[in-house]
Amino acid sequence: MKFDPASQIQDLRQFGEFGDVNPSVCDSATFTFMQAKTMLDTFQGEAEGCFLYSRHWNPSNKYLADAMAAMEGTESAWVTGSGMSAITSTILHLIGCGDHIVSSITTYGGTFAFLANYLKKFNVEVSFVDITNLEEVKAAIRPNTRMIYTETMTNPLLQISDIPALAEIANKHGIKLVVDNTFTPMIVSPARLGAHIVVYSLTKFVNGKNDCVAGAICGSEELINSMIDVNDGTAMLLGPVLDPFRSSSILKNLHTLHIRMKQHSLNAAFLAEKFTAAGIKTVYPGLPNHPGHNLLKSMMNPQFGFGGMIAIDLETADKAAELMEDMELNDVGYLAVSLGYFKTLFSNSGKSTSSEVPEDVQRKMGLSEGLVRYSVGLDNDIERTWERIEASLKKTGFLK
Ligand code: PLP
């Protein structure tokens, strides 16, 4: 039977202690025990079903984590206070001083900054590669390499990572493949394709409401248990825990994710075709001319489309700014960073979410100064949206 992340979520039986269909929010930092020994056992990770302290586990966080694990088809998951904390605690947990990482050169700017700048403190070297070039990935691996890091659909260039092939390389060398699936929840299930760990910014499509920042780490039970080990677990000791009220609201939003992803994809595909027909340089993995189109097709779960992200190239940052300002006035959406929101958001990646990446590296990775990234919203009438974009393109001289 085909793996369907939406059905996995639908089948969860997560009701509360009073039969409440939305499990009650557990707003307790600590938990009481009737026997002192059970507390000790819980500290040692041996008391099934007992909660100790909310930096470790909280029932509301557990519901969301279980739902994320179900969606990804992993044994376990843990939720965090941001996508960055999911990424950084996972990486810090897997490496030691003097280790080496092979990473896609195109990743979210914060991730790039962490890998390129922050990890220097621990004498960890990172080789940045074109993740679509498997020979380059293989050649970059050293005896002290601990992981390959990538994003399923990279931010902001929308390249597609070949997860089965990267997993094969990782397995051959006994190292981990860590995949950020923030752009493609439901569309791709990286763990089912061989990724060892899947990380998320839940801030984006998964929550979809732009009302909070959150993250998740999905992987084996062994990994999650070791990350929350009271003695040396990176998540437990750095403490990037998610607030249970937020877990509860994100969980409710997760149940509509499949419908939202389909609409984001439909709308983005429509706009991508319109941009292309208008002669604007357009990157969208759903277009047959995208270099990763067939690869994504081979990896994706059917039904959810090719995602809600589009990039267009307007060549200069000034031209990009002009268009974005006019689109905002025309109610196309908001000039804002982030993605996965119900309204369309757009920003110039080089001057925003990838501004941590030095300009020479931006050029090396193929990121144009005038690249505008769209996170296409849930618009009911996408033709009307295109008419507004077209009006802005005409006003700013991109179209006659
Ligand atoms: N991963 C990707 C692909 C992102 O785009 C972002 C944020 O833009 C992050 C991770 C970081 O997530 P957060 O802002 O929730 O910390």
Residue 131 DSSP code? T
Residue 154's pLDDT is 96
Which ligand 1 atom is at minimum distance from the Cα of 337? 8
- Best of 204, 337, 374 to mutate for ligand 1, by most ligand atoms within 8 A of CB? 204
pLDDT computed for residue 43 by the predictor: 84
Which residue ranges form the domains of the chain, and what is each CATH number?
A: 5-254 (3.40.640.10), 257-395 (3.90.1150.10)
State in Å: Cα 84 to ligand 1 middle. 6
Mutate to test the pocket of ligand 1, among 85, 201, 356 (most ligand atoms within 8 A of CB): 201
The residue among 70, 90, 72, 56 whose CA lies nearest residue 236 is 56
- Ligand 1 centre to CA of 49 (Å) is 31
Question: Which residues lie closer than 8 Å to 48 by C-beta, 6 or more apart?
Answer: none
| Sequence-ordered list of residues with C-beta below 8 angstroms from that of 45, at least 6 positions apart, any chain | 225, 229, 230
The atom number, within ligand 1, closest to the CA of 338 reads 8
Query: pLDDT tens across 71-101, in order?
Result: 999 999 999 999 999 999 999 999 999 999 9
Distance 36 CA to ligand 1 centre (A): 41
Nearest ligand 1 atom to the CA of 353 is 8
Mean pLDDT of the chain: 96
Q: What is the pLDDT of residue 343?
A: 98
DSSP-derived secondary structure letter, 55: T
C-beta of 353 in contact with ligand 1 (< 6 A): yes
Q: What residue owns the CA closest to ligand 1's atom 13?
A: 83
> How many other β-carbons are positioned within 10 Å of the β-carbon of residue 38?
14
Atom index in ligand 1 nearest the CA of residue 202 equals 15
Q: Is the CB of 151 under 6 A from ligand 1?
A: yes
For the chain, which residues score pLDDT lower than 70? 1
* Closest by Cα among 309, 314, 331, 287 to 376: 309
Q: Which pLDDT tens digit goes with each residue over 218-248? A: 999 999 999 999 999 999 999 999 999 999 9
Is the minimum distance from the CB of 201 to ligand 1 under 6 angstroms?
yes
- Lateral strand order in the sheet of 345-348: 282-283, 309-313, 371-375, 345-348, 334-335
**The pLDDT value given to residue 116:** 97
* Pairwise CA distance, residues 342 & 359, whole Å: 31
Residue 302's Cβ-count burial label (10 Å; 0-12, 13-18, 19+) is: exposed
Spatial separation of the C-alpha atoms in residues 235 and 164, rounded to whole Å: 28
Of the candidates 255, 389, 235, 238, the one whose C-alpha atom is nearest the C-alpha of residue 326 is 389
Rounded to the nearest whole angstrom, what is the distance from the C-alpha of residue 173 to the centroid of ligand 1? 28
Cα–Cα distance measured from residue 128 to residue 10, given in angstroms and rounded to the nearest whole number: 39
Q: What is the number of the ligand 1 atom nearest to the C-alpha of 213?
A: 15
What pLDDT shows up at residue 30? 96
CA angle 270, 273, 275 (to 5 degrees): 110
Strands (E), the chain: 76-80, 100-104, 125-129, 145-151, 176-180, 197-201, 215-219, 282-283, 309-313, 334-335, 345-348, 371-375
